[in-house]
Structure 1
Amino acid sequence: MRVVAKFGGTSLGNGDRVNRAADSITAAVEAGHEVGVVASAMGSTTDFLLDEIQYDADEADRAEIVSMGERTSVRMLKGALSARGVNATFLEPGTEEWPVITDEHGEVDVEETRRRGKALADRMASENLVPVITGFLAQDHAGNVTTLGRGGSDTTAVMMGKYMDADEVVIVTDVEGVMTGDPRVVEGARNVGEITVDELRNLSFRGAEVVAPSALTYKDADMDVRVVHYQHGDLMTGGTSIEGEFENLIDLQEDKLCCITIAGRAIRNRPGILAELSSALAEEDINIDAVSSGMDSITFYLKSGVSETAETVLHEGVIDSETLSSVTVDDPYAVIRVTGGELQTEPGIVDSIVSPLADERINVHDVITSATSVAVFVDWEDGEQALGLIQGVFDD
């Protein structure tokens, strides 16, 4: 089994933890697995180096300076592996076999990086070699050091796993995989054994520090990704398994939707109002397709066939409330959903989606976004044309 193991800064935070990491790698090698390693800077080295740049450093100098954390880590880990009799080597920008190459725009050169990753994998297999690769760093075609941005070590690991045809990528970090909640805040938080890549990406973009969102774009269905705690000590078991891969899809929902809007004074300051309205719909077995809110209103998108029942139910809530003033229904609406793993990393993506609709005088009634999707609501009769226009954006 070929594994790429990424060790985060906390898991290499001191000599004892470097030894623990080396022990886990050695155990996997002795069990017959091929292991590639990606190492972050030890502890908070990168943050320390950035804080100490007290002058106007250009991008090239800044990249060289911050690279020192990862360069130190790979040397420490390689030394610990060699002391255990493991055939290990460290790779950093500037070494002949360095795999992560970027183009003139700072983007990963996929073709060259894939070629180098395959060559490195072949050497792992033929020499029983454990390469220890600096995370976060890259190199352009001119030999200059570049970086992969925030969470770059995670990105290095999953990218290398993909291009080295690994069976699994193991992210070794300071959390027990993905938890049901933040154990520092909520009692009874427990490990989630499995989670989909879409679920985790949504959590990651909203503050969960488990795997960098940029890394997940490199995951495919044939490669497992698992998150384990550095104290676990076994690279091959435990933690949380991240399932599936991102699917890019542009879809026009077949069902006509109705739009029900409830207006009220300072709704945003009324705790529990959304729960009350949603619960009233749930009691009538009415599914909510989407929700949006404004300063003084909440809008539910539901299937058109339930509009009268839903209006009646919500009207009862308006009558009984001192906050709510009125409910209104409009239909039919169409919704086009754009789903993709890289939406949040593309500045201006919402504008690029809706601008062609404006050019064709199609009125956009609502746009609802998440980390992995954009939903655009238009009049039903404009749905097919809007779908074609949005598809054209991504075809281009």
Structure 2
Amino acid sequence: MRVVAKFGGTSLGTGERVERAADSIASVVADGHQIAVVASAMGSTTDELLDDITFEADNADRAEIVSMGERTSVRMLKAALAARDVDATFVEPGGDLWPVITDSHGEVDPETTRERAAALADAMDDTVPVVTGFLAETPAGNVTTLGRGGSDTTAVMLGNYMDADEVVIVTDVEGVMTGDPGVVEGARNVARITVDELRNLSFRGAEVIAPSALSYKDEALDVRVLHYQHGDLTTGGTNIEGTFQNIVDMEEDPLACITVAGRAIRNRPGILSDLSEALFEQGINVDAVASGMDSLTFYVDADDAETAETTLHEEVVDDESLSSVTNESDFAVVRVMGGELPNRPGVINEIVGPISEAGVTIHDLVTSATSVAVFVDWTEREEVLSTVQEQVSIVHEGVDRA
């Protein structure tokens, strides 16, 4: 088995933790597996180095300075492995084995990086490569960085390009939890989670794995998140399943737009729950919800519109904070779902701009970390679907080139 293991800053935060990491790596080697290691800067070294740059420094100098954290980590790990009779080689920008190369625009050059990663994989028969995470090398040979969470990106990207069987992200959490154990009593480990679920959690504050890293995961590559105290790199933690899919989908049936208006709805605790519960009791499925300063809009099947309006009207009558309910039909929803598209800077404008240019009124726009839903008049659905499909294809080609 070929494994890429990434050790985060916390998992290398002390000499004792470096020893623990080296023990777990040596155990994988002793079991006859190939392993490459990606190392973050020890502890909070990167943040400390950035804080210490109180003077004017250009990007090149800043990258060289912060790279010292990762450069120190790989030397520490290499030495700890040598003490365990494990042949290891630290790999950093400027070295013959360095794999991660950017193009002239500062984006990872996939073709060159894949070729270099393959060469690095060939070296794994004789040594354990210990690679600096977070860093890259420009065509001119200068050091640059992959951004926050870049060590995760390094690990999953190399796992993909080196044809690894698995990437193990070793961090300070026991995989993905049902909730923050520091806040929620009884939080437990989740055995498996999809890339889309994890990406939504990551963009909403969960610090498990950098979302940018997951774009490099494919079906052939297993990715697992593991606590550094676990010790055994081959078991435990949370398995991250699936891959990002870029999909354009249109709801087959028309939707109705039921809007409830009220005075300062946003300050009325439980209002969304109350209204949703009322619809649930009538067996009405809610396709989407949009909120405003003084309104809540529910999109439901057009066939359920009259029942939904009547049901919500009863809630309006019984609640002094609510004023009125309206029902408008018929609408279509076109959704764009994907790993990179919805969170790429400017991508929403790139998708919906051509719709406006075609003279189509966008009734509503609902977004999440991994999807964009465009609501338009039912009679214009085919034109919008065609426009969005064409635009997403253009945007996706741009992402692939990057």
Settle same-fold status: TM greater than 0.5. yes
- Paired residue for 1:200? 198
Q: Partners in 1 of 2:313 and 2:295 — Cα distance? A: 14
Counterparts of residues 217-232 of structure 1 (less than 5 Å): 217-232=215-230
User: Are 1:67 and 2:78 counterparts?
Assistant: no
Does the Cα contact within 8 Å between 1:343 and 1:371 map onto a contact in 2? no
Q: Which runs of 4+ in 1 moved over 2 A?
A: none
The amino acid of 1:30's aligned partner reads A
- Paired residue for 1:85? 85
Q: Partners in 2 of 1:149 and 1:186 — Cα distance? A: 31
RMSD, aligned α-carbons: 0.8
The amino acid of 2:2's aligned partner reads R
Q: The residue matched to 2:380 in structure 1 has which SS?
A: helix
Superposition deviation, residue 345 in structure 1: 3.9
**In the superposition, relative to structure 1, how do residues 322 and 383 fare at CA in structure 2: closer, same or farther (>3 Å)?**
same
Counterparts of residues 95-244 of structure 1 (less than 5 Å): 95-125=95-125, 127=126, 129-244=127-242
User: Are 1:337 and 2:335 counterparts?
Assistant: yes
- Paired residue for 1:22? 22
Superposition deviation, residue 312 in structure 1: 1.2
Which deviations, in whole Å up to 9, do the C-alpha atoms of 1:164-187 show, x marking residues without a partner? 001110000000110011111111
* Bigger Cα displacement from structure 2, 352-361 vs 148-157: 352-361
Counterparts of residues 309-388 of structure 1 (less than 5 Å): 309-388=307-386
Does the Cα contact within 8 Å between 1:252 and 1:384 map onto a contact in 2? no
Q: Partners in 2 of 1:158 and 1:381 — Cα distance? A: 44
Superposition deviation, residue 344 in structure 1: 4.6
The amino acid of 2:201's aligned partner reads L
Q: Partners in 1 of 2:343 and 2:272 — Cα distance? A: 30
Superposition deviation, residue 390 in structure 1: 1.2
Which deviations, in whole Å up to 9, do the C-alpha atoms of 1:111-137 show, x marking residues without a partner? 001111111112213x2x210000000
The amino acid of 2:189's aligned partner reads N
Does the Cα contact within 8 Å between 2:343 and 2:369 map onto a contact in 1? no
Identity %: 70
The amino acid of 1:329's aligned partner reads N
Q: Partners in 1 of 2:68 and 2:174 — Cα distance? A: 28
Superposition deviation, residue 343 in structure 1: 2.6
The amino acid of 1:61's aligned partner reads D
- Paired residue for 1:272? 270
The amino acid of 2:202's aligned partner reads S
**In the superposition, relative to structure 1, how do residues 64 and 21 fare at CA in structure 2: closer, same or farther (>3 Å)?**
same
Q: Partners in 2 of 1:16 and 1:312 — Cα distance? A: 66
TM-score where L is the length of structure 1: 0.98
- Paired residue for 2:282? 284
Which deviations, in whole Å up to 9, do the C-alpha atoms of 1:62-94 show, x marking residues without a partner? 000000000000000011011111111000000
Q: Partners in 1 of 2:216 and 2:5 — Cα distance? A: 15
TM-score where L is the length of structure 2: 0.97
Aligned residues: 394
Unaligned runs of 5+ in 2: 395-402
Superposition deviation, residue 393 in structure 1: 1.3
- Paired residue for 1:12? 12
Q: The residue matched to 1:101 in structure 2 has which SS?
A: coil
Superposition deviation, residue 394 in structure 1: 2.3
